[in-house]
Structure 1
Amino acid sequence: MPGPKPLPLELSDHERRVLRGWMRKQTASQALVLRSRIVLACAEGRPNAQVADDLGVSRETVRKWRSRFAADRLEGLVDRPRSGAPRKITDEQVEALVARTLGQAPPTGDSHWSTRSMAEAVGMSQSAVSRIWRAFGLKPHIVETWKLSTDPQFVTKVRDVVGIYLSPPQNALVLAVDEKSQIQALDRTQPVLPMAPATPAKMTHDYVRHGTTSLFAALDIASGSVIAQHYRRHRHQEFLRFLKTIDAAVPKDLDLHLVLDNYATHKTEPVKKWLLRHPRFHLHFTPTSASWLNLVERWFAELTCRKLRRSAHHSVVELERDIRGWINEWNKNPKPLVWTKTADDILGTLAAYCTRINDSGH
Structure 2
Amino acid sequence: MNVRYRVELSQVERTELKTLLGGGKHASRKLKRAQILLAADAGASDEEIARSVGVGGSTVYRTKRRFVEGNLERALSEEPRPGAERKLSGKEEALLVATACAGPPKGRARWTLKLLAGAMVKLTEHKSLSRETVRRRLAENGLKPWRKDMWCIPLVDGEYVARMEDVLDLYAEAPDPEHPVVCFDESPVQLIGEARQPIPAEPGRLERYDYEYRRNGTVNLFVLLD
TM-score after normalising by structure 2 = 0.34
Per residue, is there more helix in 1 or in 2?
Answer: 1
